[in-house]
Structure 1
Amino acid sequence: MNRYASNNPFIPHNEEEIIEMMQNIGIRSLEELFRDIPGEFVISKEPDFEGPLSEKEMIKQILSIASKNMTFPKLQLHIGQGAYLRYVPAVVKEILRRSEFLTSYTPYQPEASQGMLTALFEYQSLMAELLGLEIVNSSMYDWSTALAEAGRMAIRLTGKKKILVGRYVFHQRLDTLNTYIEPMGGFIKEIGYTSDGKLKVDDLKQSLDDSAALYVEYPNSLGFITQNIDELADIVHAKGAYFIVGVEPTVLGILKSPGEIGADIAVGEGQSLGLPLSFGGPSLGIFACRDDPKMLRNMPGRLIGMTEDVSGVDRCFAMVLQTREQHIKREKATSNICTNQALMAIGVAAYLALLGKNGLRELAEYILTLTSIAMKKFAELRFVKIPLQGIPHYQEFAYSVSGLTASQLLKKLLEKGIIGGFNISELYPEFGESIVTCFTEVHDLRSVENYVAALTEVVAK
């Protein structure tokens, strides 16, 4: 009997049907469908699985396999670069598990429950206050797609094709931006930095005439704050372009909001606001813009609006302006992203409400202080070199170790139980064999001391 055939009601084809389909497409065996796969990757016989197992035996075996995984807290994690290890309060976890919110698919009907719509409106309101911009959608997939949609929006609004990008933007976000704007004829041009952490203003001015927007990150992927970021909005607006700011939201506990520095559009990653890490997700794309009718009509994503019910007395909520989205012809929609991260947005709203202004400020101050302490301790090691050391850094910074490549350094740190950071030697060769390391609220002074001790041992060997 053909091993792909089955009489199981959940597997749709029996032996005769499979033979008929093979004859119809001119093959004698199903293996012919896979002949393009190199032979060394093909399993030639049935896997020798144990079993069947009882539920108890199966769980025991799965736990045994899972115990081989090495991650936090077994390892000290410092990798960062857009996905950060955060402390997730128990209250946030409980709210995310509530059956009122935890649905199999994101609610997208205009008549979605008032509880869900109210929670999403709260998310929009909290993020608007945090970002200093009036209009916030109820989430995109992640930072990368939010940036990509911001680029497309700027191109639509200006009719210009070039997006200027400050150097040291995380490369995967740039890749996504390029993928999204290329079909529109869009392209990216990079603007460099001076040795004291300022965007090169002369290069910026020379490139702005035919540009739709300038995008900078706050802080960038090396962890430092662009030192002349307050000057950029006026320069960009003078040429009729849009100023897009990508922000790590926890830093807004202590720094000016994107709106206060003149941003037209703000994007970012909401995972930092009380969401866990799990194989690269779940993420939450933040997207906000100024209260401008043209921008409102061109922005992507869902918007929750406040209105009155049929009695005209009670307040209620509804999805609004949906003709911008997937509810019209695809080629006329502002975005082909036809879903969002509603559950994660509710988690972020719960986190921000729990922390409040003071809590967010304390969180940001803690991370800033710990980052500064770590940089100072690392700099005291004679074999460590830290570029841009005199510039304020938040959460991340780059460094290199004499005599070791970035790959060698990361491998040796892993042997000491530390995931040391992210290799940037190919992305930014001007810094040599460097990695970017990260410190968040889950770390403390002992974490810094352990890391420094591991570096000393690595070099001693």
Structure 2
Amino acid sequence: MTEPFVHPYIPNTAPESKAAMLAAVGAASVDEFYADVPAELRLDRPLDLPAPFTAEQDLVRHVDGLLAKNVSTRQRLSFLGAGTYHHYVPAVVDEVIGRSEFLTAYAGEPYEDHGRFQALFQYQSLMAELLAMDVVNVPTYDGYQATATALSMAGRMSGRRRILVASDVLPAKLSKVRDFVRVHLDLEFVATIDGVADVAGLVSRLGDDVAAVWVETPSHTGAVEAQLRQIADAAHAAGAVLVVGTDPIGYGVLTPPAEQGADIVCGDIQSLGLHQWFGGAHGGFIAVHDDPKFIMEMPSRLFGLATTDVPGEYGFGDVAYDRTSFAHREEGKEWVGTAAALWGIAAGVYLALMGPQGMRELGEVLLARTRYAQQKLAAIPGVALGDGAIHLREFTIDVSGAGLTAAGLVEALRAEGIEPGVPVGEQRLLVCVTEMTTQLDIDRLADAIARLDTGSALLDRRDTDHEASDTAILEEQSA
């Protein structure tokens, strides 16, 4: 009989300790704690770990070997997106968030506060200006949570259950949101037309039991919703709110959702000065108008400017703290959990450095590079664009006409040091470009795909005049 493992430094692994703890909570076994976890998600076997290392240098060598298996987007040409993006992070961002008064072990909560509230107030102010909103929260865990919270706010305010989803949503995000709201909200999906919302179909589904219409723009496939005003008017006529999930990176050039009727705008700040880091540094934002009905439903913290007892001096601190889950604890409307305050400071530094002009120029580059990539790839015989919508940063291509599969294309191009995108179907590929993607990078991708189709001629590598330059693309889109 195998003896139970007792860790030398964790006394709770001893059978006697386990039995006492189970008796104290009235459980027969540890398995009862995991009753809500589906059986197919449980490991049901010991972890695949090596034998313990007795020497530190052996452990370091082993861990170095594991880390060496990672390949970053600095080491190969990447067109991967789908929620975590390769944007440039200015050196000053890392310098500021590495300072001891900001860099902490947990949730941005230092034991001594040296300007953190002010830095986050400034982040909120910059985000509010970018989004044309009045109130922005201190970042939550990620954009997935922020979206789920935004929809929950709509449900609580209206007392209704139905949420109409009017655009394509990133599958991972949809999974997280569905898990978060499944007890109190019902998600219903309205089919899209050519990449964007079917407004007529949406209107036919609206009723007095709809809490919110949820639109993602850019969508999972990078499509920019062009009919937000019509969607907002229809939602409001039914007594519902419009919740827009978005990425703030494009609002130097795009019209903010708030100016098109959105009531709640939410999303992730990873694009604003946060590294990819093999999965990304993520932080969620929720933005609303200066309306107490909405503000008091926000469970996360807000930092504001306040007067002090000293004339002429100001301080920074919590606004309406007693509405938060931090104050109400188990009695709160919703539990926020771990915040991402440090990433809010990073995004604040990024926005302050870029300024309105920098964000405008970045948005123009993203639109132009996206359109250039679309034109270049669609010129390959047998390759077609997934839809005709305007796209920012991401778009899909259909490679069925070239006799290719998305998975096969990815496998083949990885051998050339290229990550061409994310398969979103058997023959559809989601391609992402950012300001880090040059026209020559796009040309290299197009050449590599063209070579896979043996029935088509190679694209001309020597095309150095880039017939569809950034300027020409922007002029085309303006027209």
TM-score normalized by the length of structure 2: 0.83
- Residue correspondences, number: 438
Would you say the 8 A contact 2:166–2:202 is kept in 1? no
Amino acid at match of 1:364: G
Question: Which residue in 1 is equivalent to 2:277?
Answer: 278
Residue equivalent to 1:459: 453
The structural deviation recorded for 1:42 is 5.0
Q: Which amino acid aligns with 1:278?
A: W
TM-superposition CA deviations, 1:194-248 (whole Å, max 9, x none): 23x5522222122221211111112111111123223221121111110111111
Describe the SS at the equivalent of 2:235.
Answer: helix
Aligned residue number for residue 294 of structure 1:
293
Q: Letter of the aligned partner of 2:373 in structure 1? A: A
Distance 1:156 1:23, change over 3 A: closer
Instruction: Please identify, of 268-277 and 410-419, the stretch whose mean Cα deviation from structure 2 is larger.
Output: 410-419
Whole-angstrom distance in 2 between the partners of 1:68 and 1:204: 46
How far residue 119 of structure 1 moved from its aligned partner, in angstroms, is 0.4
Q: Secondary structure at the match of 1:260?
A: helix
How far apart, CA to CA, are the structure 1 residues paired with 2:369 and 2:243?
29
> Equivalent residue for 1:442?
436
Is residue 147 of structure 1 aligned with residue 160 of structure 2? no
Which residue of the partner structure matches residue 376 of structure 1?
Answer: 375
Would the alpha carbon gap of residues 313 and 222 (structure 1) be closer, same or farther in structure 2, given more than 3 Å must change? same
Contact 1:301 1:335 in 2 (8 A): no
**Does the 8 Å contact 1:191/1:200 carry over to 2?**
yes
SS of 1:215 mapped into structure 2: strand
**What one-letter code is carried by the residue in structure 1 that aligns with 2:350?**
Y
Q: Is residue 96–residue 343 contact of structure 1 (8 Å, CA) maintained in 2? A: yes
Q: CA deviation at 1:435?
A: 1.2
Q: Is the contact made by 1:132 and 1:257 (CA closer than 8 Å) also made in structure 2?
A: yes
Superposed counterparts of 1:403-422, under 5 Å: 403-422=403-422
What is the CA–CA distance in structure 2 between the aligned matches of 1:296 and 1:241, rounded to whole Å? 17
Preserved CA contact (<8 Å) 1:248 1:268 = yes
Residue segments in structure 2 that go unaligned for 5+ positions in a row: 23-28, 32-38, 456-479
Instruction: Please say if 1:303 is aligned against 2:306.
Output: no
**Equivalents in 2 of 1:253, 1:219: separation in Å?**
14
Q: Secondary structure at the match of 1:300?
A: coil
Partner Cα distance (1:444, 1:353) in 2: 25
Residue by residue over 1:107-149, the C-alpha shift from the partner in whole angstroms, topping out at 9 and shown as x without a partner, is 569x972501000100110011011111111111111101100
* Equivalences for residues 310-321 of structure 1 within 5 A: 310-321=309-320
Match of 1:161, as an amino acid? R
Q: CA deviation at 1:445?
A: 1.1
- C-alpha distance in 2 between matches for 1:73 and 1:49: 34
SS in 2 for 1:163: strand
- Deviation per CA, 1:333-369, whole angstroms, max 9, x where unpaired? 2321133110000000000001111111111111111
For residues 47-67 of structure 1, the C-alpha deviation after alignment (integer angstroms, 9 at most, x for no partner) is: 45776254xx76566445433
| Runs of at least 5 residues in structure 1 that lack an aligned partner in the other structure | 26-31, 426-431
- 1:52 equivalent in alignment to 2:55: yes
Q: Distance in 1 between matches of 2:412 and 2:178?
A: 35
Tell me the SS of whatever aligns to 1:174: helix
Question: Percent of aligned positions with the same letter in both sequences?
Answer: 32
Change (3 A) 1:124 1:61: same
Q: Secondary structure at the match of 1:272?
A: coil
Distance of 1:385 and 1:451 partners within structure 2: 15
User: For residues 171 and 52 of structure 1, do their structure 2 counterparts lie closer, same or farther at Cα, with a shift above 3 Å needed?
Assistant: same
Tell me which residue corresponds to 2:337.
338
1:234 matched to which residue of 2?
Answer: 233
Q: Deviations over 1:384-403 (max 9, x none)?
A: 121214x3211011012232
TM-score, with length taken from structure 1: 0.86
CA 1:142/1:39 → structure 2, altered by over 3 Å: closer, same or farther? closer
1:352-371 alignment, distance < 5 Å? 352-371=351-370
> Which one-letter code corresponds to 1:149 in the other structure?
T
| SS across alignment from 1:298 | coil
Which residue of structure 1 aligns with residue 465 of structure 2?
none
Deviation, structure 1 residue 71:
2.9
Query: Residues 200 and 100 of structure 1: is their aligned pair in 2 closer, same or farther, counting only changes over 3 Å?
Result: same
* Distance change (3 Å), C-alpha of 1:66 and 1:206: same
2:304 partner letter: G
Q: CA deviation at 1:409?
A: 1.8
2:193 equivalent to 1:199: no
Q: SS at the partner of 2:107?
A: coil
Contact kept in structure 1, 2:139 and 2:339, CA below 8 Å: yes
